[in-house]
Amino acid sequence: MPGKLYIVSTPIGNYEDITLRAVRILKEVDLIICEEFKEARRLLSHLNISKELFSINEHNENENVDEIILKLVEGKSAALISDCGTPLFSDPGHLLVELAIQNRIEVVPIPGASSLLAALVASGVNFDKFYYYGWLSPKKDIRKHQLLDLKKRKEVIVLMDTPYRLRTLLEDVTKLWSKNIPVVLAYELTKEKERFYRGTCEEVLRFAMKENLKGEFVLIINNK
């Protein structure tokens, strides 16, 4: 019988947010597939877990996935984790899951922390319906067109980006959208510096510049 592939959600910052089920699965599987060895070893060391590690990321997934699938076909069980949060959500692993399904390997989700939902539930915004766009292009012209297209959507819009583009994103929204558009910046979720900045985009941009914010974030734009 083939093994199982578990998609295991891990904390987005605070290690206490890992679930009991996730810990059990990480202890039971034969191997763990991670994005980066350094981040995985840090988490596993905290949990006192030692396992054979395989890496798949945007640079090596095509090369490494066949070896992992072979082990699963032979009956090994594996857990896929990302650097933080829920795997495959703006993270590698899609090819692995696709090939697992093609090879009749059972794929089992292990739910857990999600920066998207954490940001929304504490935002104060009514998000019964929302549009998750994710990451904008780093290329200036493409990014501009993406924002102008999003501006046409009259709903709650969720964006993410790298920490070093936080200020740039707020500046772009202010210039291309409106300086008065209501936004919520969910900053460093579950960590010691966690904070929610609420107000117009111009006001939140001023906060970001004043406090020199450069951490992980989720940006919620209330365009309803």
Per residue in 84-137, pLDDT (tens digit) is 999 998 788 999 999 999 999 999 999 999 999 999 999 999 999 999 998 999
CA distances (Å), origin 137, targets 27, 103, 144, 161, 164: 38, 34, 9, 9, 14
As a whole number, the mean pLDDT across the chain is 95
pLDDT tens-place string over residues 124-179:
999 999 999 989 999 999 999 999 999 999 999 999 999 999 999 999 999 999 89
pLDDT value at residue 161: 93
Predicted TM-score (pTM) of the model is 0.90
Instruction: Give me the percent of the chain exceeding a pLDDT of 90.
Output: 92
134 CB-contact burial (10 Å; exposed 0-12 / middle 13-18 / buried 19+): exposed
- CATH numbers and ranges of domains, the chain: 4-110 (3.40.1010.10), 115-222 (3.30.950.10)
